Amino acid sequence: MPHPAIVKDNVAVITGGASGIGFAAAAAFARAGMKVCIADVDRERLADAATRLSSVTSATNVMTFAVDVSSAESVRELERAVAAQFGGTDLLMNNAGIQPGSTLFGEPDNWQRVIAVNMWGIINGSRIFAPNMIARGRCGLIINTGSKQGITTPPGDPAYNVSKAGVKAFTEALQHELRNTRDCRVTAHLLIPGFVFTGLTAKGRTEKPAGAWTPEQTVDFMLARLEVGDFYILCPDNDVPRALDEKRMQWAAGDIVENRPPLSRWHPDYADAFTRFVEGK
């Protein structure tokens, strides 16, 4: 059975919804009979996404909204517009994200943009939408898109790692708050995608690498895990099985417990030890 919030005539709002995982989710929610608001910063992609959704559902069940998730006022306008058109929100998917790349001591612009969109976008969406979702008294969902990089924090893109680590910590706190709010029927969930072939990860490629999942596969997995109530929706992909992801995450936490150097998985003194750990030796 689908999650009770994902039913006909309920309302789903997806930020970053005009492409990639966001659009795949919007299409899945539309096929379930939900009314869907696709929110995105790119107006051209919004128009194209609405056209593509016309093959899935009636135009009356679709709205689009240009939003800058890093701006609390822009997100408030989105929440008010959805309430005016559809009566309120039952499912919020905070999915908007960017990854322009970053270096530790480089120019701060990318750092500010990445943290504003990836982390503050999710904080803004959750804080602004949740109170009225709770007040509806209906079963609801807030799904925040994180990343494995926010847990294992590999070297190479520190701004992105910091933003997604913040998303993990915030979503954990959000779910704790929701479950301790009287009469609240809204739950929060952390989507942790694997390697998904989207505009964010294509990096000039036009064909999906064999190791990557499609956005549709990722959303199908998400829906299945929502059905059973998972908070951490840890997605595998074609190259990395879940067991290996778990080992990487356990090792990352072990850096603290074992007092190893930070990011010891990439430290030459610990390369063999990490390999033995993964192999269970």
Active-site residue flag, 270:
no
DSSP class per residue in 23-78? HHHHHHHHHTT-EEEEEES-HHHHHHHHHHHTTTS-GGGEEEEE--TT-HHHHHHH
Q: Are 171 and 125 in contact (CB under 8 A)?
A: no
- Picking from 19, 132, 7, 28, the residue whose alpha carbon sits closest to that of residue 80 is 132
User: Residue 270: which residues within 8 A CB-CB, separation 6 or more?
Assistant: 260, 261, 264
- Picking from 205, 206, 118, the residue whose alpha carbon sits closest to that of residue 163 is 118
CA–CA dist 119, 140 (Å, integer):
22
Q: Are 231 and 179 in contact (CB under 8 A)?
A: no
The catalytic position among 160, 197, 270, 274 is 160
Q: Are 198 and 179 in contact (CB under 8 A)?
A: no
Element (H or E) spanning 249, and its range? helix 242-257
- Picking from 97, 228, 253, 249, the residue whose alpha carbon sits closest to that of residue 167 is 97
Beta bridge partners of 36: 12, 62
The residues annotated as belonging to the active site are 160
